[in-house]
């Protein structure tokens, strides 16, 4: 009889630091990120979500490009999140603008890597409402 694989879990702790400031970390870790709803000492919660989406897809893009033997030498993702004008001001559209640099990178391969990252491999994207439009663009830099 084969047992089920143990479930992966993430455990984080969020500590209030006054006003709308919070320090978040993985449980047991000393490394923290600041989340500030006023955006004066760190990104706000929705900004942090957009950062998580971009960095999650970036991990997959970098890995896919390395497997294609065209490693990424530089990658920046500008993220634009549109929000509803009603409460709660949920995200209504996200655009990920990838700027990628690397020797021998072919545009078609890079676009395919981004598509796979966003539509298949990114657990953050898959955790969001499937009806939320997530679009992307690519600029290859010299």
Does 38 score more than 70 pLDDT? yes
* Domain presence at residue 52: yes
Which two structure tokens, joined as six digits, stand for 8?
A: 């992966």
Residues 117, 131, single domain; the answer is yes
Residues 31, 66, single domain; the answer is no
Which two structure tokens, joined as six digits, stand for 47?
A: 């900004």
The domain of 32 spans 11-42
Residues 95, 55, single domain; the answer is yes
* Domain presence at residue 3: no
The Cα–Cα gap between 57 and 53 comes to 6
pLDDT bin (cut points 50, 70, 90) of residue 2 is low
Interval 77-98: pLDDT, tens: 999 999 999 999 999 999 999 9
Which residue matches tokens 């990104």? Answer: 43
The total number of structural domains that make up the chain: 2
Residues 56, 125, single domain; the answer is yes
Q: How far is CA 15 from CA 11, 20, 51, 60, 136, in A?
A: 13, 11, 20, 30, 34
The Cα–Cα gap between 64 and 116 comes to 9
Residues 60, 96, single domain; the answer is yes
Interval 104-138: pLDDT, tens: 999 999 999 999 999 999 999 999 999 999 999 99
């Amino acid at each position: 009889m084969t047992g089920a694989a143990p479930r992966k879990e993430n455990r984080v702790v969020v500590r209030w630091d006054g006003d709308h400031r919070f320090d978040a970390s993985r449980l047991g870790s000393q490394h923290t990120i600041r989340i500030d709803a006023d955006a004066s000492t760190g990104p706000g919660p929705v900004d942090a979500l957009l950062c998580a989406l971009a960095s999650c897809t970036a991990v997959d893009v970098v890995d896919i490009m390395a497997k294609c033997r065209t490693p990424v030498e530089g990658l920046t993702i500008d993220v634009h999140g549109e929000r509803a004008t009603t409460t709660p001001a949920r995200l209504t559209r996200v655009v990920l603008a990838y700027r990628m640099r690397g020797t021998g990178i072919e545009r078609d391969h890079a676009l395919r890597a981004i598509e796979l990252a966003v539509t298949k491999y990114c657990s953050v994207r898959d955790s969001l409402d499937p009806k939320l439009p997530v679009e992307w663009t690519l600029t290859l830099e010299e």
